[in-house]
């Protein structure tokens, strides 16, 4: 019994567990706050773009609005429709929310600031983001409602389609980096300023990635799964109170995640835009957050600017434009790197 409590037990199992839980909390709390304030930012930004003020009543500049919304949703009743499949109906929003959060385990916030520095970080992110469709499709089926089901089917087809081009974009970046580790991807963009980041040499891929990220997160102009004009609210039409809130938070957490992915793959992660004094004083996580905020602003800007795509146009864009373009670019990049002997020589 005594051995159980000596060094190995404590330093091998208990202490790492406590440390990991603390780290997870340290990552989750800022993300949840960011999700809450992203909803406010969205309403404010779109308000300004439409020459309105946005929420400005609750708290100074409407800053307490997300808390008020959260409180309201928590106090409401979670209605489970009588025809619904109750277990799956409740699992779906949890799944969406959990998947949006666990992906953050591999995102590097700064040199060495990463919860799980795994070799296949990019694949993990890709795998998790491809699972996001399940929350929506299960919700649509379990609701036992036609609107919800149509929304779910649209979403499934859309997310599977755009994942293909996202995959090719990721492959292009990987060819340039020579590693699947996210920290290595950021390090490969170091040395110099923003002109070393991959968004410039791989500009078409950057554009494809951002547009595919919009489709992957079901954001405007690709928000057909919840097209309120034709499907009421799509897959989440039967959800109320916290179950709805989880979908809502999941969607916004996914937006932040895709922005984080864009930042890591194309915008140099934690690196400063210029490698000279005043910029290098700012800590890496702040640059990382600023870049995420910039990409998120693009998400909101697009929503305020473009009308919703028609479904066949969405499919055409995914399969007939992005897929050939990204496939071509993978081959072109690989050919260029081989021809000029620039292929990265990864450690092992």
Partner 1 sequence: MAFAGFMFYIFAAITVACGVMVITSRNPVHSVLYLILAFFNAAGLFVLIGAEFLAMILVVVYVGAVAVLFLFVVMMLDVNFVALRKGVKKYVYIGATLGGVLFVELALAATSWTLGPDVATLTLGPVAGEVHNTRAIGQVIYTDYIYLFQGAGMILLVAMLGAIVLTLRSRPGVKKQVIADQVNRSSKDEVTVVKVPTGSGV
Min dist CB 171 to partner 1, Å, is 12
Q: How far is the CB of 211 from partner 1 (least distance, A)?
A: 16
**Total of residues contacting partner 1 (CB under 8 A):** 30
149 binds partner 1 (CB under 8 A): yes
The 10 Å Cβ neighbour count of residue 94 is: 14
Q: Choose between 175 and 300: whose C-beta lies nearer to partner 1.
A: 175
State the minimum distance, in angstroms, from the CB of residue 218 to partner 1: 15
* Interface with partner 1, residue 293, by CB under 8 A: no
Q: Is 138 in the site for partner 1 (CB under 8 A)?
A: yes
Whether omega before 221 lies within 30 degrees of 0, making that bond cis, reads: yes
- Here's the x/- map for partner 1, 97-136, by CB under 8 A: it reads as ---------------------xxx--xx-xx--xx-xx--
Q: What does the DSSP 8-state code read for residue 320?
A: I
Q: Which is nearer to partner 1, 3 or 77 (CB)?
A: 3
Q: Is 276 exposed, middle or buried (0-12, 13-18, 19+ CB in 10 A)?
A: exposed
For 146, counting Cβ atoms within 10 Å of its Cβ (0-12 exposed, 13-18 middle, 19+ buried), the class is: exposed
**Maximum CA extent, the chain:** 70
Q: State the Cα–Cα distance between residues 175 and 308, nearest whole angstrom.
A: 34
- Cβ closer to partner 1: 62 or 121? 121
Pairwise CA distance, residues 47 & 308, whole Å: 18
Instruction: Tokens for 62, please give them.
Output: 């409407």
Judge whether 287 and 203 are in contact, CB under 8 Å.
no
Residue 34 interacts with partner 1 (CB under 8 A): yes or no: no
Of 4 and 75, CB closest to partner 1: 4
For partner 1, which is the closer residue by CB, 150 or 271?
Answer: 150
As measured in angstroms, the least distance from the Cβ of 329 to partner 1 is 19
Quote the least distance from Cβ 297 to partner 1, whole Å: 29
Decide whether 39 or 172 has the Cβ nearer to partner 1: 172
Indicate whether 163 belongs to the interface with partner 1 (CB under 8 A): yes
**Minimum CB–partner distance for residue 110 and partner 1 (Å):** 24
46 is an interface residue for partner 1 by CB under 8 A: no
Distance, in Å, from the CA atom of 292 to the CA atom of 142, rounded to the nearest integer, reads 34
- Rg over alpha carbons for the chain, rounded to the nearest Å, is 21
What is the pattern of x (binds partner 1, CB under 8 A) and - over residues 75-94? -------------x------
Residue 17 exposed, middle or buried by CB count within 10 Å (0-12, 13-18, 19+):
exposed
Our CB check for partner 1 shows the closer of 83 and 192 to be 83
Which among 97, 154, 144, 153 is positioned nearest to 238, based on CA atoms? Answer: 144
Note the helical H segments in the chain: 7, 15-49, 65-75, 86-102, 121-142, 146-177, 182-188, 203-216, 228-231, 241-266, 277-281, 284-305, 311-316, 323-339
x/- track of binding to partner 1 for residues 239-278 (CB under 8 A): ----------------------------------------
- Does residue 160 bind partner 1 (CB under 8 A)? yes
152: preceding bond cis by omega (within 30 degrees): no
The footprint of partner 1 (CB under 8 A) covers 13, 88, 118-120, 123-124, 126-127, 130-131, 133-134, 137-138, 141, 149, 153, 156-157, 159-160, 163, 167, 180, 312-313, 316, 346, 348
């Amino acid at each position: 019994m005594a051995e159980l409590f000596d060094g190995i037990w404590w330093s091998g199992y208990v202490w790492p567990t406590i440390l990991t839980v603390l780290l997870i909390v340290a990552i989750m709390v800022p993300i949840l706050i960011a999700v809450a304030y992203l909803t406010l930012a969205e309403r404010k930004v779109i308000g300004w773009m439409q020459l309105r003020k946005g929420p400005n009543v609750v708290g100074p500049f409407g800053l307490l609005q997300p808390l008020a919304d959260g409180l309201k949703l928590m106090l409401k009743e979670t209605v489970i429709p009588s025809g619904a499949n109750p277990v799956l109906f409740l699992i779906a929003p949890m799944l969406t929310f959990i998947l949006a959060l666990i992906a953050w385990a591999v995102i590097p916030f700064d040199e060495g600031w990463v919860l799980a520095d795994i070799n296949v970080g990019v694949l993990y992110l890709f795998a998790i983001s491809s699972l996001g469709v399940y929350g929506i499709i299960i919700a649509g089926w379990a609701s036992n409602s036609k609107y919800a089901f149509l929304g779910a089917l649209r979403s499934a087809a859309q997310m599977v389609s755009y994942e293909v081009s996202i995959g090719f974009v990721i492959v292009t970046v990987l060819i340039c980096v020579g590693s699947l580790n996210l920290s290595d991807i950021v390090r490969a963009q170091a040395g110099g300023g923003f002109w070393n980041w991959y968004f410039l040499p791989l500009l078409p891929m950057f554009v494809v990635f951002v547009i595919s990220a919009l489709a992957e997160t079901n954001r405007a102009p690709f928000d057909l799964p919840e097209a309120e004009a034709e499907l009421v609210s799509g897959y989440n039409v039967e959800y109320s109170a916290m179950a709805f809130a989880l979908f809502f938070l999941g969607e916004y957490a996914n937006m932040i995640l895709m922005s984080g992915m864009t930042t890591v793959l194309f915008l140099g992660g934690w690196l400063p835009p210029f490698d000279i004094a005043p910029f290098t004083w700012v800590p890496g996580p702040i640059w990382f957050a600023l870049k995420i905020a910039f990409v998120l602003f693009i998400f909101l800007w697009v929503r305020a600017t473009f009308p919703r795509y028609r479904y066949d146009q969405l499919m055409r864009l995914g399969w007939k434009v992005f897929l050939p373009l990204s496939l071509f670019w993978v081959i072109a990049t690989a050919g260029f790197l081989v021809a000029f002997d620039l292929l990265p020589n990864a450690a092992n």
